Amino acid sequence: MKQEKDHEAGGHTDLAERRRLKMRQTVCLLLALLLTAGTLPASVLAYSDPREQAHGISYIQTPSGRYLIWSDQYGRKSANGSWTHDIYALPVTKAGLRNPEANKQTLVSAHEAQEPASASVAGDGSVFLTFEDGNATTYRGHDYTLAQRYAIFSSSLRPEVPYNPQKTTVKWGGHSGHSASTKKHHIVFYSEGWVDGGADHGLGTGDDVWVSSFSANGRGKRTTKVSVGKKHRDWWPMIAASESKAFLVWQRYVPRARDAQLCCAVYDPATGRKGRTRILKRRTAYYCYQVQYAAPIKRFVLTLTDRKGKGACYLFDSKGNVTARKTGLPGFVREASPAVINGSASVRLCYPRAKGGAAYLRVTGNSVRYLGVRTRGRYIDTGKSARTWSIRGTAGFYDRTARTVCFATLGKTRLRVAVFPAAL
């Protein structure tokens, strides 16, 4: 993979180069420690980003069934420093969850990596899938190194708008995108560009964030600038959608700080208009936030973890106003979505907890109630204790009886499913 040309403020580097940079920094640090301390265990001399095995998972429900969709390169190694993830789907059935490898189907397979996978469902049951892609990234004579791309499937995951590098590109040079769908539109919120230095482990930040919307059949693409220009460094865009609006959340670099500002805005895919940007007073640890739509109470539920490991939850209405908040919660897991069960006037959410186990919340339109924690569950394939989580991605959902919370988590060698009681 080649290095991108400089763009606006600072030198921009592709993701593979950032991964190699992180490896070099770690090796240099370990060698320095070795020289000063004399010895180090052999196990710490080799470094690899956990997301090299797998990255990005979504739980979706369509008229045809329930599915998990994720990216991995399990059983394969990176090629010359470049990841090779493909995208898979698994029906949420007893057989599928007990043996994902034997029951998964391939949705997208190409050279380089297609990750992180993010999927959502529109009102007609169509499934929108988006991902950053290292395959076929040359356009009009320029190699962009990465592109944010998409594909659209039927409710039973038959291709309707198949992956095609030239025809299904959201943005050349785009990356880190996530999707959400309203009743009539599919939406992808994504980054563009990279600025070296600062932020998580000194590896740099994204530069700009954009949002694009499509009709449910993939036509009528509309693109809107969310935060673009030299004034800010913005990245890791997250999104949730109601029947008609989307809620955009992203992190903003703060020079010399060890955490990020969290920005959010409401977006209307029918008009392409973005509401005013709100910046939360409470900062977030890098990448440690998530947003979910709770339909019965018509609220967007935003959770974050600060750099001290404390969690917070905010409720926003369709205009972007805060209607409730609660701080002092347990820390939430990076890149993890909750299991959600809807009541008539409240919603129960169960999140993977940063210190292990699961944390339970109940929210109404104007309140957030912390219910408590289960410190451990069990893996359904082995029956062994399930307590800790990785940063590769975890997706929560309830079983059909609503008596069991399930978390599909991307482990080091395979997708695994952990279960917890639905009630404390």
The answer to whether position 325 is within a domain reads no
At residue 240, φ and ψ (nearest 5 deg) are -140, 160
Instruction: Kindly give, in sequence order, each residue whose CB lies less than 8 Å from that of residue 286, ignoring residues fewer than 6 positions away.
Output: 199, 200, 236, 251, 259, 260
Residue 396 one-letter amino acid:
G
Q: Assign residue 298 the CATH number of its domain.
A: 2.120.10.10
- For residues 164 and 170, the answer to whether their CB atoms sit within 8 Å is no
The answer to whether position 404 is within a domain reads no
Please tell me the distance from the alpha carbon of residue 424 to that of residue 362, in angstroms, as a whole number. Answer: 12
What's the pLDDT at 42?
40
The answer to whether position 253 is within a domain reads yes
Instruction: Kindly give, in sequence order, each residue whose CB lies less than 8 Å from that of residue 208, ignoring residues fewer than 6 positions away.
Output: 8, 191, 192, 193, 225, 226, 227, 228, 229, 234
Please tell me the distance from the alpha carbon of residue 412 to that of residue 361, in angstroms, as a whole number. Answer: 29
**H or E stretch including 88?**
strand 86-91
Q: Give me the domain span that covers residue 163.
A: 51-314
Tell which residue, 115, 284, 258, has the closest CA to residue 200. Answer: 258
At residue 299, φ and ψ (nearest 5 deg) are -135, 145
pLDDT at 192 > cutoff 60: yes
Judge residue 397's burial from the number of C-beta atoms within 10 Å of its C-beta, 0-12 exposed, 13-18 middle, 19 or more buried.
buried
What's the pLDDT at 22?
45
pLDDT digits (tens, 9 = 90+) for 273-330: 999 999 999 999 999 999 999 999 999 999 999 999 999 999 999 999 999 999 999 9
What's the pLDDT at 81?
83
What's the pLDDT at 48?
67
What's the pLDDT at 80?
84
Side-chain-side CA neighbours of 47 within 13 Å: the count stands at 14
Q: Is 234 helix (H, G, I), strand (E, B) or coil?
A: strand
- For residues 287 and 251, the answer to whether their CB atoms sit within 8 Å is yes
388 CB neighbour count, 10 Å cutoff: 15
Please tell me the distance from the alpha carbon of residue 253 to that of residue 196, in angstroms, as a whole number. Answer: 12
Please tell me the distance from the alpha carbon of residue 414 to that of residue 26, in angstroms, as a whole number. Answer: 26
The answer to whether position 297 is within a domain reads yes
> How many separate domains does the chain show?
1
What's the pLDDT at 38?
43
pLDDT digits (tens, 9 = 90+) for 410-420: 999 999 999 99
What's the pLDDT at 30?
39
CA angle in degrees (0–180, nearest 5) for 177-178-183: 135
* Strand spans (E) along 97-173: 105-108, 114-121, 127-133, 138-139, 142-143, 147-153, 159-161, 169-172
The answer to whether position 84 is within a domain reads yes
pLDDT digits (tens, 9 = 90+) for 13-70: 445 445 444 444 444 443 443 343 444 344 333 446 899 999 999 999 999 999 999 9
The answer to whether position 218 is within a domain reads yes
For residue 363, the cross-strand partners are 347, 368
The answer to whether position 166 is within a domain reads yes
What's the pLDDT at 79?
84
pLDDT digits (tens, 9 = 90+) for 203-246: 899 999 999 999 999 999 999 999 999 999 999 999 999 999 99
Q: What is the mean pLDDT of the chain?
A: 90
DSSP 74: T
pLDDT digits (tens, 9 = 90+) for 327-345: 999 999 999 999 999 999 9
Please tell me the distance from the alpha carbon of residue 389 to that of residue 410, in angstroms, as a whole number. Answer: 9
Mean pLDDT for the stretch of residues 77-94: 94
Length of the chain in terms of residues written: 424
Instruction: Kindly give, in sequence order, each residue whose CB lies less than 8 Å from that of residue 104, ignoring residues fewer than 6 positions away.
Output: 88, 89, 90, 96, 415
The answer to whether position 179 is within a domain reads yes
